[in-house]
Amino acid sequence: MKNKIVISILGLLLVGSLVGCSFNKTNTATSAKSEEQTETTVTTEEVSSDTAYSDAASASAAYKELTIKTDWDSKATVTFSSEGMTIDGSGCSNEDGVLYITEGGAYTLTGASENASILINTDENVKLILNGVELKSEKGPVIYGEQVKNLYIETAAGTTNSLEDATEYETDSEDNEIGKATISCNDDLIFLGEGTLNVTGNYKHSIACDDKLYIESGTINVVSNVKDGIRANDLLSIDGGTVNVTSENEGIESKSLIFINGGDLTVDSVDDGINASCYIEINGGTVTVKSTNNDAIDSNGGFDGCLTINDGVVNATGAGMPDGALDADESSVIINGGKVTATGGCNSPIIENGGDNNITGETFSGGGMGAQGGKAGPGGQKGQGGPGQKGDFDPNNLPEDFDPENRPEPPENGEKTEAPEGGTDNQQNDDSL
């Protein structure tokens, strides 16, 4: 996950041949750097999207607590304008219009620009303090952590900050796009502060992290016009603050784990509102999720409790059948506490160990509940009589009104019957990073 690409490649993305800049630089950080006590307390094996979890207990135990770094060296103040940028301090440079950060420390950014690119390449910790910036990029991401130990983005109290990426990204010499979001980081990414951050994504995602992503405080408003609003490869943890996501694709996605421990989260998406490839755990906060065409909250872990709600207020509204509010694929959702309101076409089976719950819509398990002959039912493309998209016919899980002595007659001459409205399969979105 920590694979790095040489700095000259990103130069081609951010400044490119259009401005005639060669970014053939090496990383100036050395092994003689000062020891900075950092942010992540490791208690188990490293979280990775390549790690397979088979039960809720092991997935929950993989969570990495965050200890926020507070001892920062103030390096520079950078002011953006239509004429370019001015730098007061050290640790960074203006490379043909690109703010190039090569030393660890805190950098305060202010001003406005229609063509701003910020590149970070150091093996130390970096904090960007956004102090009333309005930045757009013409070539790709606005902020790109190509290499950094941990990247902190802090919004100054009382300020509103706006970032917007390009609609097309420049490529390297091998025609590979570099970066995948307005804020794109190859390493751990932490959001904090008491101000407001508006992020608009026009190419892929709005915020993307290849490792662990934490949101601790502040107000973050995300608009994604193409793909996911907020996306992490490994762990995505929302611990506080106010987060609002509007997305034309999925709202919040992790290729491994999602933990919501606090804060106020609102998601309005076309595809899944909150999706994790392995495990979702909600421990607090207020979570309001609406999906127009798919599931509100969806975990693809494939084990009971891959979607676990322990506390908090959860309001989930999903689409009609075969989609719904709470989806654990072929497994059960576990609710141990909190207040859960779920509305949609159907839900995975719910194991209620506590909480104040109002679950509406049918539940499904495996191959759906359609009639013999192939009619679609919730949770599967075919019901009994044909293999379902999500599992096979289960004789121990029949509808209450099922009468084995009075089954529907099969269609004559092998003709197929029409599926009822909404009886399509619930395919997972295959959205590559």
Q: For 192-203, what is each residue's pLDDT tens digit?
A: 999 999 999 999
Grade residue 398 by pLDDT with cuts at 50, 70 and 90: low
Chain mean pLDDT for the chain: 80
Q: Residue 413 contacts by C-beta under 8 Å, 6 or more apart in sequence?
A: none
Q: Residue 7 contacts by C-beta under 8 Å, 6 or more apart in sequence?
A: 23, 24, 25, 26, 27, 119, 121, 146
User: In this predicted structure, what is the pLDDT of residue 410?
Assistant: 46
DSSP conformational letter for 413? G
Long-range pairs of 373-377 with CB within 8 A, sequence gap ≥ 24: 373/408, 373/410, 373/411, 373/417, 374/416, 374/417, 374/419, 375/417, 375/419, 375/420, 375/423, 376/322, 376/419, 376/420, 376/423, 376/424, 376/425, 377/322, 377/423
User: In this predicted structure, what is the pLDDT of residue 362?
Assistant: 76
How crowded is residue 302: how many other Cβ atoms within 10 Å of its Cβ?
15
pLDDT for 359 beyond 90: yes
> What's the CA gap between 117 and 179, in Å, rounded?
12
pLDDT in tens, 39-94: 433 333 466 666 779 999 999 999 989 999 999 999 999 999 999 999 999 999 99
DSSP conformational letter for 147? E
Phi/psi of residue 121, nearest 5 degrees: -145, 95
3-state secondary structure of 392: coil
pLDDT for 400 beyond 70: no
> What's the CA gap between 264 and 302, in Å, rounded?
28
DSSP 281-301: EE-SSEEEEEESSS-SEEE--
Phi/psi of residue 58, nearest 5 degrees: -70, -35
First to last CA, the chain: 13
pLDDT for 431 beyond 70: no
CA atoms lying within 13 Å on the CB side of residue 26: 3
The DSSP H or E segment spanning 309 is strand 307-309
Using alpha carbons, select from 188, 225, 238 the residue that is nearest to residue 208: 188
Burial of 414 (0-12, 13-18, 19+ CB in 10 A): exposed
pLDDT in tens, 185-229: 999 999 999 999 999 999 999 999 999 999 999 999 999 999 999
> What Rg value do the Cα atoms of the chain yield, rounded?
24
38: tokens are 């950092």
Grade residue 433 by pLDDT with cuts at 50, 70 and 90: low
User: In this predicted structure, what is the pLDDT of residue 303?
Assistant: 96
DSSP conformational letter for 97? T
CA atoms lying within 13 Å on the CB side of residue 211: 20
Phi/psi of residue 59, nearest 5 degrees: -65, -45
pLDDT in tens, 9-21: 344 344 333 333 3
Q: Which of 33-37, 77-81, 306-310, 406-410 has the lowest mean pLDDT?
A: 33-37
DSSP 103-127: S-EEEEEEEEESS-EEEEE-SS-EE
pLDDT for 363 beyond 80: no
Q: What is the pTM of this model?
A: 0.76
pLDDT for 148 beyond 90: yes
Mean pLDDT calculated for residue range 94-108: 96
Cis omega before residue 322 (within 30°)? yes
- Say if CB 130 and CB 197 are below 8 A apart: yes
> What's the CA gap between 242 and 132, in Å, rounded?
18
